[in-house]
Amino acid sequence: MRRMARFLVVFLAGVALLAYLASSAVQRTTRRWFEADIAQRMAGLAQKNQPALLARWTAGARQPFEAMLTDLARDRARHSGRGLRPEQPTAGPHPRLSL
């Protein structure tokens, strides 16, 4: 009986150690994937929207900035699972926010 108890203690300690090491490896890998995904998305957004961000913010240069914000809103809705269709209208500008 004593040998069986000793075996179970060693066995369970080994399984616990193995589970801890496996979960640590999965967590590191998942975090690395997540950070790479976020970096890739941000680089794509910065590259895609660079002309609108660098354009002069004058009364006549409002169109590129509004188009960029509309595209960002649609991208965010699509990636969040709500999925705006291109023909689906987006909400208009807020009355207290003016560009």
Length of the chain: 99
Instruction: Specify the DSSP element, H or E, that contains 30.
Output: helix 2-54
What pLDDT does residue 78 have? 54
- Asked if 78 and 84 count as a contact pair (C-beta separation under 8 A), the reply is yes
| Domain residue ranges in the chain | 1-51, 55-86
What pLDDT does residue 30 have? 95
What pLDDT does residue 57 have? 61
What pLDDT does residue 47 have? 81
Whether the predicted model's global pTM rises above the 0.75 cut? no
What pLDDT does residue 65 have? 72
The mean pLDDT values, 10 residues at a time, for the chain of 99 residues are 93 97 96 92 80 65 73 63 52 52
The candidate with the shortest Cα–Cα distance to 25, out of 13, 35, 17, is 17
